[in-house]
Amino acid sequence: MNAPVICGTIHGVGLGPGAPDLLSVRADRLVRSARHVAYFRKAGRPGQARRIAEGMLHPDAIEIAMEYPVTTEIPVSDPRYKACLSTFYEECTGRLRSLALAGEDVVVLCEGDPFFYGSFMHLHARLSGEVPVEVVPGITGMSGAWNATGVPITWGDDVLTVLTATLPEAELARRIADTDALVVMKIGRNLPRLRRAVAAAGREEDAWLVEHAAMPGQRVTRLAEAEGVTPYFSILLIHGQGRRP
């Protein structure tokens, strides 16, 4: 009689916004004990998730660097972008699936929370139902950003809107004007048109940029005064001013 096949588990582990001491106890335990550790990165870069975990990995851990074939080189609207990333995620999924089917657990390091604008979601969608997959929640990057300002993001019945700066400029302006509190992610090269959209919505004086939230080099500045910004690691905020007792 054949012994039952025991699969390993793929763990998507949220590392929080940047500071190693903002990991949950569960995340810390999994990262430190992992035999196989995977993470995304841009080619030639160490990767933000890997940087957060620096000094935490077991000396014998086998690292799996999943290098994006493209980031900003091709517009998101270009069909080649989706095709290129789809192939990339399939290859990553195949490698992790093989390890799990061989009985190995894998920890995938994820910036922020794995289910909040994270690359791990694309692995999760492909692996679910094939091998065990578990997710460890993490503090989101936006939580780290609004805490860096020292001001609550919402009060009372404020409506909070989360946008990505990749939206069309007119749509950004409309949504910025319509909400009480605001978070804008994925700024990158879209910062100039995001500035224009905020100004068009009449909210430039209320907007803040937080760079490298909860990381070395954290900086909080008003959007109107922000110069020399690092857009890739920036989040834009507008704080709500709602009902208070």
Per-residue pLDDT reduced to its tens digit, 91-126: 999 999 999 999 999 999 999 999 999 999 999 999
Q: Which CATH superfamily is domain 10-136 in?
A: Tetrapyrrole methylase, N-terminal domain (3.40.1010.10)
Q: Which CATH superfamily is domain 141-238 in?
A: Tetrapyrrole methylase, C-terminal domain (3.30.950.10)
> Binning pLDDT at 50, 70 and 90, where does residue 5 land?
low
User: What's the token pair of residue 210?
Assistant: 């937080």
H-type alpha helices, the chain: 25-33, 48-52, 79-101, 120-127, 141-149, 169-178, 191-200
Check whether 73 has a pLDDT greater than 90: no
| Domain limits, the chain | 10-136, 141-238
Q: Burial of 158 by CB count in 10 Å (0-12 exposed, 13-18 middle, 19+ buried)?
A: middle
Q: For 76-90, what is the mean pLDDT?
A: 86
Q: What is the pLDDT of residue 34?
A: 98
Measure the CA–CA gap between 38 and 36, rounded to whole angstroms. 7
C-beta atoms surrounding 230 within 10 Å: 14
Measure the CA–CA gap between 140 and 20, rounded to whole angstroms. 13
